[in-house]
Amino acid sequence: MNLFAEIKTLVLSALHEMVGEGALPADLNFSNVSVEPPRDALHGDMATNAAMVLAKPAKMKPRDIAEILAQKLTADPRIDTADVAGPGFLNLRLDPAILHGLIPQILNSGADFGKSNIGQGRKVNVEFISANPTGPLHIGHTRGAVFGDALSSLLDFAGYQVTREYVINDGGSQIDTLARSVYLRYLEAHGQAVSFPEGVYPGDYLVPVGEALKAKIGDAYIDQPEDIWMEEIRNFATDAMMGLIRSDMALLGIEMDVFFSEKSLYGTGKIEACLDALEAKGLIYQGTLPPPKGKLGEGWEPREQTLFRSTAHGDDVDRPVKKSDGGWTYFAPDIAYHYDKIQRGFDELIDVLGADHGGYVKRMKAAVSAMSDGKVPLDIKLCQLVRLFRDGEPFKMSKRAGTFVLLSDVVEQVGADVTRFVMLTRKNDAALDFDLAKATEQSKDNPVFYVNYAYARVFSVLKKAGNPSDEKLASANMALLTHDAEINLIKKLAEWPRLAELAATHHEPHRIAFYLYELASEFHALQHLGKVDPDLRFIREDAVECTEARLAMIRAVAVVISAGLGILGVTPRNEMR
């Protein structure tokens, strides 16, 4: 289904043939041979670098290799011409029938067009959001949420078996703080005047939690010491916060497969078992860390702690797993959590984190490498900050939380689809400026609109043509699509499977967004040509066959846009008014 992969197979078999005939030496490594879209469409439909990457190991001139390869390739019916160009590129022009044949393929496969099996059913765990259950999700979580969800869909599209996972940090001291905060709201619900000292969460969102607690237990905990109510309120409050977070996620249409409780690692021997496993590899020891370099060294004092030898797996310094008082550091349960993921049989792990976790990457990779003996790759995707604007002015106020802009504020203002798309128009590791006013603007300046507009235009045209079925369109005579702009559009469609594979292997969903913009652009250009030259209009009363072929083509555009937006989690609209 991936035309580029198909032609690459052809190139490789031609190369093997050349080896068999003695035209190339044996033992050549073909892994660097690629077949790609050429930078300039004038060069042809596809280009291969085979002659250039093989020239040196084969000790031949690139052009000599290219000449022979060109002869072999043109013998194949799929290849019209193969021209040697530049330093040794081989530019291929395909038999138009190959491109034309793509359209029925797209119409018949529908949303499945572009799916691949590069994942080969490998189990991949994508952990994302994982916000502390102490309040609603804010803008800082939103990008990671959208990114993780889209990456998951992308990997699924590429043939991986994906698990979306959220780890609930319900074991740490911040939950004690949450419980105390809720206790105050509980007292408040009973009519007591309360003040909120430093170190508790003052947010209004805890008011209903305090009231709910009152409704559940009445006045049982009034004037009671902390050790009486702490455990129960911790659980009660955590559940309430996870309820909030789940409803925030629902606003973006995100559903997790697994919610993993960090607390489940404590008191169950899981952390101990994990560290035992590391100790068996000689990676746990008692020791004292050197002072940090630089001026932060002030106030530092040596402490003997239990340390993980992360330097054995690429980290810069070993990391403590136990505090000097014997309690676990945060790192310890997190190692155990990743150990658990490995034991659950995942072949690959992905963590989506905020950029403020940058210092955490090496140690976690070291831990996973150590625990899996280097067999389970861990990719940590750091999402950089989102800067919110409205009409060019920084946007910071939140009506409900007072400090952070909430995810729900953003979705309320621009909608889930716009939020998702905009969040995916940047690489995850580049900072993102998000202008809430521009995001709802209906213009080409707004990529969401621009892409969806192309989709809606297709529907408009099809409607005008009486909504022919995909089956009927698939049987049209595509050979009538001969105009350059039409061929360019089909070539863009042909790139989709390849692009989806690349985006998946690189864990970069933003490439989908950029591709969709380009596809929409090709479509808008062609659509406009019909205004200048009536013969190029999609619907021609005087040419039924041609009309059918064109309708099939634009229907294929809609199918691919729909598939792409589907991966991004955006629902295309059939009309924009």
Partner RNA sequence: GGUCCCGUAGCUCAGCUGGAUAGAGCACCGGAUUCCUAAUCCGGGGGUCGCAGGUUCGAAUCCUGCCGGGAUCACCA
Question: Minimum distance from CB of 487 to RNA (Å)?
Answer: 15
Question: Minimum distance from CB of 222 to RNA (Å)?
Answer: 29
Residue 280 or residue 532: which is nearer to RNA going by CB? 532
Question: Minimum distance from CB of 484 to RNA (Å)?
Answer: 11
Strands 378-383 and 348-354: parallel
- Footprint of RNA on 79-138 (CB under 7 A): 85-89, 91, 132
Question: Minimum distance from CB of 511 to RNA (Å)?
Answer: 6
The one among 41, 111, 525, 544 contacting RNA by CB under 7 A:
525
Residue 71 or residue 574: which is nearer to RNA going by CB? 574
- Footprint of RNA on 241-270 (CB under 7 A): 262
Residue 219 or residue 226: which is nearer to RNA going by CB? 226
Q: Is 297 in the site for RNA (CB under 7 A)?
A: yes
Which residues make beta-bridge pairs with 494?
Answer: none
The one among 77, 197, 299, 466 contacting RNA by CB under 7 A:
299
Give the single-character DSSP code of 265.
Answer: G
- Footprint of RNA on 327-346 (CB under 7 A): 327, 329-331
Residue 212 or residue 307: which is nearer to RNA going by CB? 307
Take residue 87 and report the two structure tokens written for it. 């330093």
CA distances from 513 to 110, 249, 558, 569 (A): 19, 21, 15, 11
Per residue, what are the HEC states of 513-573?
HHHHHHHHHHHHHHHHHHHHCHHHCCCCCCCHHHHHHHHHHHHHHHHHHHHHHHHHCCCCC
Residues 170, 238 contacting (CB under 8 angstroms): yes
Pattern 159-198, RNA, x by CB under 7 A: ----------x-xxxx------------------------
Question: Minimum distance from CB of 252 to RNA (Å)?
Answer: 21
Residue 427 or residue 483: which is nearer to RNA going by CB? 427
The one among 71, 324, 403, 482 contacting RNA by CB under 7 A:
324
Give the single-character DSSP code of 475.
Answer: T
- Footprint of RNA on 430-469 (CB under 7 A): 430-433, 442-445, 449-450, 453, 456-457, 460-461, 464
In three-state secondary structure terms, 106 is helix
Question: Minimum distance from CB of 161 to RNA (Å)?
Answer: 24
Name the phi and psi angles at 124, rounded to 5.
Answer: -125, 135
Task: Compute how many other C-beta atoms are within 10 angstroms of the C-beta atom of residue 295.
Answer: 6
End-to-end CA distance of the chain, in Å?
36
Which residues make beta-bridge pairs with 481?
Answer: none
> Could you tell me which residues come within 8 angstroms of residue 403 by beta carbon, excluding any fewer than 6 positions away?
none
- Footprint of RNA on 2-41 (CB under 7 A): 31-32, 34, 36-40
Rounded Cα distance between 78 and 456, Å, is 34
The one among 115, 180, 313, 426 contacting RNA by CB under 7 A:
426
Could you tell me which stretch among 120-128, 192-200, 216-224, 381-389 binds RNA (CB under 7 A)? Answer: 381-389
In which element (H, E) is residue 185 found? helix 173-189
The one among 384, 413, 440, 562 contacting RNA by CB under 7 A:
384
Residue 189 or residue 422: which is nearer to RNA going by CB? 422
Size of residue set near RNA by CB under 7 A: 108
Rounded Cα distance between 388 and 411, Å, is 13
The one among 127, 165, 348, 508 contacting RNA by CB under 7 A:
508
DSSP letter string over 30-90?
-TT--EE--SSGGG-SEEE-HHHHHHHHHTS-HHHHHHHHHHHHHTSTTEEEEEEETTTEE
Residue 31 or residue 195: which is nearer to RNA going by CB? 31
DSSP letter string over 396-429?
---TTTSSSPBHHHHHHHH-HHHHHHHHTSS-TT
- Going through 148-238 in order, the beta strands assigned E by DSSP cover 161-168
The one among 180, 214, 362, 365 contacting RNA by CB under 7 A:
362
Rounded Cα distance between 323 and 305, Å, is 6
Residue 317 or residue 479: which is nearer to RNA going by CB? 317
Name the phi and psi angles at 259, rounded to 5.
Answer: -105, 115
Residue 258 or residue 430: which is nearer to RNA going by CB? 430
Could you tell me which of 451, 516, 528, 526 has the C-alpha nearest to residue 481?
Answer: 526
Q: Is 235 in the site for RNA (CB under 7 A)?
A: no
DSSP letter string over 130-159?
---TTS--BHHHHHHHHHHHHHHHHHHHTT
Residues 319, 307 contacting (CB under 8 angstroms): yes
Rounded Cα distance between 270 and 274, Å, is 6
Residue 408 or residue 547: which is nearer to RNA going by CB? 547
The one among 27, 223, 227, 325 contacting RNA by CB under 7 A:
325
Question: Minimum distance from CB of 193 to RNA (Å)?
Answer: 30
The one among 26, 27, 29, 56 contacting RNA by CB under 7 A:
56
Question: Minimum distance from CB of 573 to RNA (Å)?
Answer: 8
Question: Minimum distance from CB of 218 to RNA (Å)?
Answer: 31
Strands 284-288 and 258-261: unpaired
Question: Minimum distance from CB of 294 to RNA (Å)?
Answer: 3
- Footprint of RNA on 527-566 (CB under 7 A): 527-532, 534, 536-539
